[in-house]
Structure 1
Amino acid sequence: MNTPMINRRTFLSQSACLALLPVLGVGLSASTKPSAPAAAASVSAFLLPDLGYAFDALEPHIDAETMQIHHGKHHAAYIKGITKALENAGLQPPPSILELFAKLPEYPEPLRTAIRNHGGGHYNHSLFWESMSPTPQVLNPEDPLALEITSTFGSMDAFRERFATAAMGRFGSGWAWLIATPDGLVVTSTPNQDNPLMKGAVEAEGIPLLGIDVWEHAYYLKYQNRRADYIQAWWNTVDWSVVSARYAAAVA
């Protein structure tokens, strides 16, 4: 292992803060990424975050119509759903999204399912948008994350194959993830809008570093049933500077 991995106590104490990195500037200071305060407010108040790029900016890999519907319709619907569920449960002011995930087993149904479906949809998509860029940065082979990926999976190509296998193997709708855990990097997948921050609800808990949406609404307009083609094209949009910053914060 080339870089120190967080111990279990540090992981538990930091995970709530680090989980917000995809919507808090991914570990960068507010002076480095001016949008951080606005993004933080978006999560705490359950508001739709800006993409940070035009709907057609990820062409030809992800088409503009998909991005417009995915962001403006699907993500917006998740925010509306979690807001209504919390209002119906009398949780006003609402807990943060991270509190909802951390205390998931304590909530009764149907609120628990609403948190998983709608709260998860909000968080997952916020991370997804920030992980992509029309001008993505590659991962330097000497970057600590690159070294850890090589140590864990054997090579960057082997990691990508493992990740793609997890994404392809997720039956129906869901996500594939690269996460940081107290024991190192793990590739995993979750159904529906579950994510690795949801206590007691997922196979592998950890801090999300990278995630791909494999719901059909993420790719069907362009790729139809060719999920493998979508996954392969998606790699061209991944901004590794963002993912690396999340990892650096996780092991700090």
Structure 2
Amino acid sequence: MENHYPFALPPLPYPYDALEPEIESKVLCFHHDKHFATYVENLNKLLEPYPTYHSWTLNQLCEGWANLPKEICQGVRNNAGGVFNHDLYFRTLRALPPSMPQPPLDSAIRRVFGDIEGLKSALKSASLSVFGSGWACLCADCGGDLSIQKVANQDTVLPLLPLLCCDVWEHAYYLQYQNRRPDYFDAWWRLIDWPQVSADYAAHLENRLPIPEK
């Protein structure tokens, strides 16, 4: 997506019915075309009268919202985070059959979580323990070490790199799963695009800054 103002809604990278039956087309359409689109529209409206910030990247807005004029800082925090989180959410899903993590991500997962089932269990626990609306994310730090982080509302995990995130706002699943968040998580897990996530992690390792010699 365009990484500065004016932001544009990225097209959904697959047909609306591509993720069925795990995520129904009506849920995907509503989530992407209504909720995600609203965050993009609101972010542009907030920034329009402030040309000083039109060159700021989405990451800069997510991390530096507190430095913006007080009349827009909270709005930018909410909407820039909404754009950032949803962009990652939709980019890291794919149609069935399920895929698996690839090197070097697979070995990083084993180091921290034991195996892929250990990661699933830890991420599911985090997703179910988010009180109210928020996200559970698999993240990498600047050295490539993995962790699971939870954020409320539309906050982001930056400056950590989020590799994938489970949206546990009710709009992501309530039309199909009602209050059954565990069932939604299991469906979302089967749709993770592990080749894409693995490629993002590999690129992150390649772009790491060298550790200074002592």
Shorter-chain TM-score above 0.5: yes
Does 2:8 correspond to 1:47?
yes
Alpha-carbon distance in 2 for matches of 1:182, 1:53: 31
2:185 aligned residue (231, 244, 252) = 231
Does 2:116 correspond to 1:156?
yes
Please state how far the C-alpha of 1:132 moved relative to its aligned partner. Answer: 0.3
Letter in 2 for 1:70: H
Aligned partner of 1:131 in structure 2 is 92
Whether the 8 Å contact between 1:178 and 1:185 is mirrored in structure 2 is yes
Unmatched 5+ residue regions in structure 1?
1-38, 198-204
Which residues of 2 match residues 111-130 of structure 1 at below 5 A? 111-130=72-91
Aligned partner of 1:217 in structure 2 is 171
**Normalising by structure 2, what TM-score?**
0.89
CA distance 1:85–1:94, shift in 2 (3 Å): farther
More relative contact order, 1 or 2 (CA 8 Å, 6+ apart): 1
Whether the 8 Å contact between 1:58 and 1:237 is mirrored in structure 2 is yes
Please state how far the C-alpha of 1:93 moved relative to its aligned partner. Answer: 3.1
Whether the 8 Å contact between 2:61 and 2:77 is mirrored in structure 1 is no
Please state how far the C-alpha of 1:154 moved relative to its aligned partner. Answer: 1.5
Does 2:133 correspond to 1:173?
yes
Q: Percent identity?
A: 39
Aligned partner of 2:212 in structure 1 is none
Alpha-carbon distance in 1 for matches of 2:74, 2:97: 35
Please state how far the C-alpha of 1:94 moved relative to its aligned partner. Answer: 4.4
Unmatched 5+ residue regions in structure 2?
207-214
Secondary structure of 2:94's match? coil
Please state how far the C-alpha of 1:229 moved relative to its aligned partner. Answer: 0.4
Alpha-carbon distance in 1 for matches of 2:45, 2:19: 32
Whether the 8 Å contact between 1:167 and 1:214 is mirrored in structure 2 is yes
Please state how far the C-alpha of 1:107 moved relative to its aligned partner. Answer: 2.0
Please state how far the C-alpha of 1:91 moved relative to its aligned partner. Answer: 3.7
CA distance 1:92–1:113, shift in 2 (3 Å): closer
Question: What number of residue pairs does the alignment pair up?
Answer: 204
Secondary structure of 1:73's match? helix
Whether the 8 Å contact between 2:62 and 2:156 is mirrored in structure 1 is no
2:152 aligned residue (159, 180, 191) = 191
Please state how far the C-alpha of 1:59 moved relative to its aligned partner. Answer: 0.3
Whether the 8 Å contact between 2:128 and 2:182 is mirrored in structure 1 is yes
**Normalising by structure 1, what TM-score?**
0.76
Secondary structure of 1:120's match? helix
